[in-house]
Amino acid sequence: MLCAYYTGESSVEVKTEADSNDITEHPHDDRARLYLCTVCDKRFKGKDGLMHHKLSKHNGENSYSCTVCKKRCPTQQSLRQHMNVHSSKYKCTECGKCFSCNKDLARHRRSHSGEKPFECSVCSKRFTEVGSLVVHSRIHSGEKPYKCQVCDKAYSQSGNLNTHMRVHTGDKPYKCSLCNKSFSDSSSLQRHKRQVHSNRRPYHCLYCGKTFERNSHLKCHVYIHTGAKLYSCRHCSERFAALDQLKTHLLKSHNEGT
C-alpha cells in the first residue's frame, strides 16, 4: 500500500491495492473516518454517504431525468443539485464553467490558481485533487484494475475504460448544441466549443492580466515576466523571452526579414 498526504491540517491515506469488495471502510483512530468506494475511488466522511453513493451510482435506478440535457439522476435531490449546472449558480468567474455544487467549483478553481495541496509520498509530485493523486499512485504500484473485456487493454482509472469502450461501440454521446457534431468524451466537446464556437479567452496572466485562448499560449507569455529566455539568436549570443522580441532583434541587428 502507498500512502499520500494532504499538505494541509490533516493527512489522507490513499489506498492503492484492489479489494475483493466494492466498498472498503478506512477508519482512523484519531481523525475523521474516511470511506473509500473501490469502484470509482471516491471518498466519504461517513458510511451513510458512501452507501448512498454506491446505491445511486453503481446499483441504483436513475429515474429522474434533466429536461435540459437529459442527464438521469437517482433521486430528486440529486436532480435539483444537477440543475445548478444549468442555472449557473456555481459558475467559475475565470472560464465560465458551471458546477452542481460549491465543493466542485472550489476544486475546479485550483486549476486556475495553481494550488496543488495533495502530495505523493513516493516522488513528491503534487496534485490539485485527491482523485488525481490516487490515480497517480498506481504508477508506483503498477496497478491497472480496469480491464477491457473486448481487447484486454487495462487502465488505472475507471473513467478511462468507459471512454475507451466507445472505440468498440462507436458511441458519441456528447453532442454540440451549435453544430450537432458529436464526440466520444466531454473534454473533446468542450475543446471543440472553445476552438470553433467561442471567442472567450479563459486563460489569464497573473502578472499583467493579459488573456489567452489556450493555456499553452499563456505559458509562453509568462516567460516574459519570469525572465526565462527560451529564444536564442542564430547569429549571435542574444537570447529573448518572447518570439516577437527575437524577430525584432533579427530585423534590427541582422537585417533578417527585410
Instruction: Examine domains 4-169 and 204-254 and report if their fold is the same.
Output: yes
Residue 166: predicted pLDDT: 86
Tell me the C-alpha distance between 56 and 64, whole Å: 12
Residue 8: predicted pLDDT: 43
Q: In which region does residue 4 sit, left (phi positive, over 0), alpha (psi from -120 to 50) or beta (all else)?
A: beta
Residue 61: predicted pLDDT: 60
Q: Could you tell me the residue ranges of all domains in the chain?
A: 4-169, 204-254
Tell me the C-alpha distance between 55 and 62, whole Å: 10
Please name the fold of domain 4-169. Double Stranded RNA Binding Domain (3.30.160)
| Mean per-residue pLDDT pooled into runs of 10, the chain (258 residues) | 42 38 43 61 77 68 78 82 89 89 86 85 86 82 83 82 86 84 86 76 83 80 79 85 82 79
Residue 2: predicted pLDDT: 44
Please name the fold of domain 204-254. Double Stranded RNA Binding Domain (3.30.160)
